[in-house]
């Protein structure tokens, strides 16, 4: 690992022109700037006295003073920033951006996901192509356009968020702050029981309120105004999907099957947004496409085999039925030939006749295979008390 050190004082400005790989920036309690790369020749660094200009054809890692001002023009890989109290600006990040324990963050374009954990001041984003996860943001969060889903847990400085996906919020609103959301998907919001706010809700797919509402006003078929508690905070929620607003401890109708299913779906989505990165999603989609292609190939063959097997079973059944019918005909002809043909003469005693019913029963026993033809002859002879003579 090649290292280069600079010292521009306590509050340096660091300009990142272009990084083709991953960029990692961490703050530390030192006035030194430490630049690391696998190959020194891949980095281009200019020391301008009060600021530093850096470019890298590969991955790059920086250790900078805590109060450094960071300006990023382009990062082709992922971006990770941790433990900075100065301002951070980024024009374009092609991968996923992770910002932890910092003061503020401003970006124009994030092509991957954006994960923010503990931000003391404002967040400003123009465009996110992936998902957005916000945890413990104490300044105002503004997102002009998010193509993915938004998950918010612990935000107090107000927000103005617009997304094409779903949104899920779990936070304690600050008095006097405004919280605005425009979502193309579903919107789920949960606040503590101590929260007081006014809310204007608009949805074309239904509005569900699980809370001790003080005042509610229907503004139209798709719009409601409610007040809970003292109403010091203000919510403005608009969604094409369903809006669910819940106060902790007041789930109400949420226990029904459909509504609990909706809650479980949103909870699952929240866990997914917090853990998945866009690279994992792309790999999963590739695996799914391969699996679907395999199914497309194997299903017609399975159906063909099943169809052929069914034909074989039906043919075997028909053959068996034909053989059984032929056997029955042969038995009948044999019985008729043995018992009533010219070969056999039965001399019957006039004092011990055999009834027709008995003869029928004996014939049925022969046909069912219980006794043979010879046994039937002997049985009839025994009942009649006659001798069985050959016609020849």
Q: What is the pLDDT of residue 91?
A: 97
* Cα gap 143→125, rounded to integer Å: 5
Q: What is the pLDDT of residue 90?
A: 97
Q: What is the pLDDT of residue 240?
A: 94
* Cα gap 218→227, rounded to integer Å: 12
Q: Six-digit token pair at 14? A: 């660091």
Q: List Cβ neighbours of 153 (8 Å cut-off, separation of 6 or more).
A: 134, 135, 136, 169, 170, 171, 270
Q: What is the pLDDT of residue 334?
A: 60
* Cα gap 103→122, rounded to integer Å: 8
Q: What is the pLDDT of residue 252?
A: 45
CB 102 within 8 A of CB 85: yes
Q: What is the pLDDT of residue 262?
A: 47
Per-residue pLDDT tens digits of the chain, which is 392 residues long: 567 888 888 889 999 999 999 999 999 999 998 998 877 778 888 888 888 999 999 899 999 999 999 999 999 999 999 999 999 999 999 999 999 999 999 999 999 999 999 999 999 999 999 999 999 999 999 999 999 999 999 888 899 999 999 999 998 898 889 999 999 999 999 999 888 889 999 999 999 888 876 667 777 778 888 888 776 899 999 999 999 998 887 554 433 333 444 445 555 555 555 555 455 555 555 655 555 555 555 555 555 555 566 666 666 666 666 666 666 666 566 655 555 544 434 344 444 455 667 777 777 777 777 777 777 777 777 666 554 444 43
pTM equals 0.63
Burial (Cβ within 10 Å: 0-12, 13-18, ≥19) of residue 297: exposed
Q: Specify which residues 160 forms β-bridges with.
A: 142, 180
DSSP class of residue 323 equals H
């Amino acid at each position: 690992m090649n290292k280069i050190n600079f010292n521009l004082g306590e509050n340096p400005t660091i300009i990142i022109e272009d990084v083709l790989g991953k960029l990692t920036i961490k703050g530390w309690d030192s006035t030194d700037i430490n630049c690391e790369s696998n190959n020194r020749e891949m980095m281009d660094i200019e020391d301008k006295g009060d600021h530093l200009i850096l470019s890298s054809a590969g991955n790059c890692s920086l250790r900078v003073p805590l109060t450094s001002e960071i300006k990023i023009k382009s990062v082709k890989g992922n971006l990770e920033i941790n433990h900075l109290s100065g301002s951070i600006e980024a024009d374009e990040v092609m991968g996923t951006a992770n910002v932890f324990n910092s003061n503020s963050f401003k970006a124009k374009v994030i092509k991957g996901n954006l994960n923010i954990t503990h931000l003391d001041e404002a967040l400003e984003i123009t465009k996110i192509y992936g998902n957005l996860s916000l945890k413990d943001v104490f300044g105002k969060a503004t997102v002009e356009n998010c193509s993915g889903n938004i998950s918010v847990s612990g935000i107090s400085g107000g927000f103005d968020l617009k997304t094409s996906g779903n949104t899920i919020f779990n936070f304690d609103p600050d008095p006097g702050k405004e919280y605005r959301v425009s979502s193309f998907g579903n919107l789920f919001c949960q606040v503590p029981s101590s929260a007081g706010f006014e809310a204007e809700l608009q949805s074309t797919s239904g509005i569900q309120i699980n809370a001790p509402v003080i005042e509610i006003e229907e503004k139209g078929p798709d719009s409601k105004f409610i007040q809970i508690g003292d109403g010091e905070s203000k919510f403005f929620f608009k969604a094409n999907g369903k809006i669910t607003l819940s106060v902790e401890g007041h789930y109400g109708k949420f226990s029904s099957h459909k509504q609990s299913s909706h809650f479980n779906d949103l909870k699952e989505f929240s866990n997914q947004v917090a853990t998945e990165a866009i690279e994992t999603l792309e790999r999963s989609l590739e695996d799914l496409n391969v699996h679907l292609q395999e199914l497309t190939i194997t299903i017609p063959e399975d159906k063909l085999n099943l169809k052929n097997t069914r034909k074989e079973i039906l043919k075997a059944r028909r053959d068996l039925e034909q053989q059984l019918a032929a056997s029955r005909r042969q038995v009948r002809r044999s019985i008729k030939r043995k018992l009533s043909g010219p070969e056999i003469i039965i001399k019957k005693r006039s004092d011990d006749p055999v009834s027709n019913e008995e003869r029928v029963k004996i014939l049925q026993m022969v046909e069912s295979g219980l006794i043979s033809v010879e046994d039937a002859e002997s049985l009839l002879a025994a009942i009649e008390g006659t001798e069985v003579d050959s016609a020849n």
